[in-house]
Amino acid sequence: MSLQGKTLFISGASRGIGLAIALRAARDKANIAIAAKTATPHPTLPGTIYTAAEEIEKAGGTALPIICDIRDEEQVKSAIDQTAAKFGGIDILVNNASAISLTNTQETTVKKYDLMHSINGRGTWMVSKYAIPHLIKSGKNPHILNLSPPLSMKEEWFKNNVAYTMSKMNMSMCVLGMAGELRRHKIGVNALWPLTLIGTAALTQVGDVSAMKLRTPDIMADAAYEVFLKDSSKFSGNFLVDELFLRREGFTNMDQYAPGERKFSPDFFLPDEVLEEIDELRASQGWK
């Protein structure tokens, strides 16, 4: 099985993890709609929807760059309609676009709160809403993948950045609810989250990461690709962690994502049982 001839709609795919997922699909000659705001170069971040489209075409895919702010309902509807008209439908939706502010309640402005919630929670829900009719008609193993964490109500994940955590858990609640809602349509709805911090340009906007051990976005892209190959009628409602999922699927070469590195700081929102299972699999499977 491959993604050849399938159509992916990826929000925020002009750079980072979203672009990495697009490039992995492009190797299968997939069609990819790049829905993002960045039409002109950002002053500090590389990449636009047009440079992303060039990379996708070079990798073997067919790209459709679309200027789209997922906070705007009309822009979302138009982007979905353009994609379906261009490629004849939509088979896979990736809700990748996200905003972050690791600040406590007093330090978080109302403007920043609104930004995170309008993109992370509301945006994910709205893009899904307008993509669902096309996914129902797909007939080609349709999937929705949200880049969001395992659901958790533990205080430790909320206390330092309440607004951000609320917004990311909203994305994960979309997975929980839509997996049940869309099961009769055989649409797989899952979440994917990194075990470690991922080295993207956007991460540098959060703070100094020069001393951190980071992995490339390719690990998330490879994990997402394996999700898309799963039977959507049976594989749904899962909250996946990249390395753990790949190891469960038989992939052990983790060196390729950070050559020579063995010790990483875990990302936010990871349950203890995930970290315990990772340690066990690393010991039994190795790294190559």
Rounded to whole angstroms, the Cα distance separating 185 from 249 reads: 25
Rounded to whole angstroms, the Cα distance separating 26 from 57 reads: 7
Contacts of 272 (CB under 8 A, 6+ apart): none
Q: Judge whether 164 counts as a catalytic residue.
A: yes
CB contact at 8 A, 213 and 255: no
CB contact at 8 A, 117 and 167: yes
| DSSP designation for 283 | H
Active-site residue (options: 50, 113, 130, 164): 164
Contacts of 248 (CB under 8 A, 6+ apart): 281
Burial 247-279 (b: 16+ CB within 10 A, else e): beeebbebeebbeeeeebeeebbbeeebeeebe
CB contact at 8 A, 148 and 171: yes
Q: Is the dihedral of CA 276, 277, 278, 283 positive or negative?
A: positive
Rounded to whole angstroms, the Cα distance separating 234 from 287 reads: 29
Give the amino acid at 130.
Y
Angle, vertex CA 86, rays to CA 83 and CA 87, nearest 5: 85
Tell me the chain's radius of gyration from C-alpha atoms. Answer: 18
| Active site positions, annotated | 164
